[in-house]
Amino acid sequence: MEVLIKDCSWIVTQDDHRRLLKKTSVLIKDGIIEDIGRDLNGGDIVVDGKDKILMPGLINTHTHLSMSLFRGYAEDLPLDKWLREKVWPLERKLDEQLCYIGALLGCLEMVRTGTTCMVDMYYHAGAVARAVGEAGLRGFIGQGLMDTITDDRTPSESLRKSFLEAAHKALKAIQELSDPKVKFIVAPHAPYTCSDELLIEAQAMAEKIDTLVHIHIAETRREQAVFQRNYGCSVLEYLDKIDFLNRRVLAAHCVWLTRRDIEILARRGVKISHCPISNMKLGVGGVSPIPELVEAGVLVTLGTDGPASNNTLDMFESMKIAALLQKHNRWDPSVVNAQQILDMATVNASESLGLGGIVGQVREGFEADLILVDVRNPSLQPIHNPESLVANLVYAAKGLSVNSVFVKGEPLLLDGVYQTLDADRIYSLAEEALEELGIKLSNCTGDV
């Protein structure tokens, strides 16, 4: 199939030179960007690029899609109370169908707001992957792993066994999808919910099947305090001692870090998913030291976290807040710039997932994971000069400014209309799921 995106007013290429092109077309053939230039012809599908910015699709490196069903459920609570008293009890009631419905709702939002690829960690990962595949999105889907909920990290053998069985079941289900865009990853929840044995087993599994390891690290001050009390070192120092950290690891949050922690992350090649909105909403108190991480050579990407702690999956919103939080915290508007932030959501993210050279740029030979942003929008006008394009995208654009979305050349959204998902059906399914969860909520008490 050929798709011609014709006469784009602007193209933000995100290529090695960060070129900005004007009045240019893009020809896609069999999912690959074949040609970029003027006066291009052809295309089984021709999309009008006039008054639009063509750019790489955004990549969300940390989320929990199925928690779309929990949006607005547990509000204004600190993380520990939010997890133990609200989220974990409710999650015990989830089944494959509910996770599938929640993931569909999350995919609906991602497509509408310009995200083309995500990293997801949750339960019933096979069902989540099925929803991602039906949406046509690109996804790295992990089955969450845990075997302890006590501060001394005393493991439960039965809990570990059940989670590992679920992971192997999810791996098989994702392999059976035979969708090259949807991949299984290993996802131990966090150092405070995983014993050393489980963390080491997770790394061994990832090495065996050659995939990523995704984990929450140093999200709260309490997490650091518990590890200092129990082991006399930071969380990252401890993980380094047990040889958990390596280039496979994509670590979400990394808020409460020491200089030594940053050195460890850089030396081990760990990638970071910075989730500023979730951190602020849950009141974790700290601010991830992004300038120091970047200076040390750590690859920084962006995530929304789940819809229960953000409460959206809008990566445009996350880009803006990521920039503003650093500027405000450092009393320095130049501490990060718009181009660095856009890089985090595109080229950095693609590299962190092993997709560098495949997606993340509007470039010949790359797979066509692309979005069109409508500039006939008061929040995106005027465009003073080419350089203001990137600033407008980071500081002014909204996800709903997205007009069209393509993943590997397949249209998922055209002129604001879904091509692969039935929004009304998904809304109805979500309402039914809430009714079921409402019945179950009456029985939700206590910890996991």
- pLDDT score recorded for residue 439: 47
* CB contact at 8 A, 148 and 195: yes
Would the pLDDT of 448 be above 80?
Answer: no
Rg of the chain taking only CA atoms, in angstroms: 21
3-state secondary structure of 394: helix
Half-sphere exposure of 422 (CA within 13 A, CB side): 7
For the segment 204-223, the average pLDDT, to the nearest whole number, is 97
DSSP one-letter code for 57? P
Rounded CA gap, 43 and 34, in Å?
11
Structure tokens at 348: 């950095």
Burial (CB count within 10 angstroms: exposed 0-12, middle 13-18, buried 19+), residue 367: buried
Would the pLDDT of 69 be above 80?
Answer: yes
- pLDDT score recorded for residue 75: 87
- pLDDT score recorded for residue 444: 52
Would the pLDDT of 87 be above 90?
Answer: no
pLDDT in tens, 2-35: 999 999 999 999 999 999 999 999 999 999 999 9
Rounded CA gap, 293 and 290, in Å?
5
For the segment 71-99, the average pLDDT, to the nearest whole number, is 87
Tell me the average pLDDT of the chain. Answer: 95
For the segment 180-185, the average pLDDT, to the nearest whole number, is 99
48 pLDDT tier (thresholds 50, 70, 90):
very high
* CB contact at 8 A, 304 and 312: yes
Greater confidence (81 vs 261) lies with: 261
Burial (CB count within 10 angstroms: exposed 0-12, middle 13-18, buried 19+), residue 254: buried
Out of 56-60, 85-89, 210-214, 415-419, least confident range: 85-89
pLDDT in tens, 239-279: 999 999 999 999 999 999 999 999 999 999 999 999 999 99
pLDDT in tens, 189-211: 999 999 999 999 999 999 999 99
For the segment 86-93, the average pLDDT, to the nearest whole number, is 85
447 pLDDT tier (thresholds 50, 70, 90):
low
39 contact partners, CB below 8 Å, separation of at least 6: 25
* CB contact at 8 A, 367 and 359: yes
Rounded CA gap, 329 and 308, in Å?
25
149 pLDDT tier (thresholds 50, 70, 90):
confident
For the segment 331-335, the average pLDDT, to the nearest whole number, is 97
For the segment 76-92, the average pLDDT, to the nearest whole number, is 85
Domains contained in the chain, CATH given? 2-56+366-423 (2.30.40.10), 58-353 (3.20.20.140)
Q: What pTM did the predictor assign?
A: 0.96
- pLDDT score recorded for residue 150: 83
pLDDT above 90: percentage of residues in the chain: 87
Please state the length of the chain: 448
Would the pLDDT of 443 be above 60?
Answer: no
3-state secondary structure of 446: coil
Q: Cα 259 vs. chain centroid, distance in angstroms?
A: 26
- pLDDT score recorded for residue 441: 46
For the segment 421-431, the average pLDDT, to the nearest whole number, is 97
Residue type for position 110: M
